[in-house]
Amino acid sequence: MLCKSLEEFTNQLPPKGRLLALDLGSKTIGLALSDELRGIANALHTIKRRKFSQDIDALQQAVKEHAIAGLVMGYPLNMDGSEGPRCQSTRQFVRNMEEHISLPTLLWDERLSSYAAEEAMLSADLSREKRAEKIDKLAAAIILQGLLEHIN
């Protein structure tokens, strides 16, 4: 269920339980996972996008495997805070996903998360190949950590 506010989202969550963040891209979906107490976000893995049904299967597996209590979708607002075409496609993905995964879901501003992930990997001196492999799941972790800091 897509929550309209952070307050609605947190009210629907149990006191403990992991959150799963998604950084939705056209070719991949980066995943990050919180701890049970929702203090720390860790990059999980990246799903290579195929058909929607296969994407959902992979997400359902992660939800089941990690006992997820809620979902956080990176919301790609424009730098001025306005919604663009990528926001529309994210909302459509969430609407379609809700038919298969029934968890509290929050859209969370992801501005500059990929940039921050890229900067972190550059400072760690990772090769271009390694950066490409890790960027989406690290961006998801940055999105999730931002939310966790906000709610704690």
* pTM as predicted: 0.86
Q: Check: CB of residue 98 under 8 Å from CB of residue 1.
A: yes
Q: For residues 78 and 80, what is the distance between their CA atoms, to the nearest angstrom?
A: 5
Non-local (6+) Cβ contacts of 134 within 8 A are 43, 46, 117, 121, 126
Domain chopping of the chain, boundaries: 6-151
Estimate to the nearest angstrom the gap between the alpha carbon of 34 and the chain centroid: 11
68 or 135, which is more confident = 68
Is domain 6-151 classified as CATH 3.30.420.140?
yes
Distance separating alpha carbons of residues 152 and 135, to the nearest angstrom: 26
Residues 81-128: pLDDT tens digits?
A: 788 888 999 999 999 999 999 999 999 988 655 545 556 545 655 556
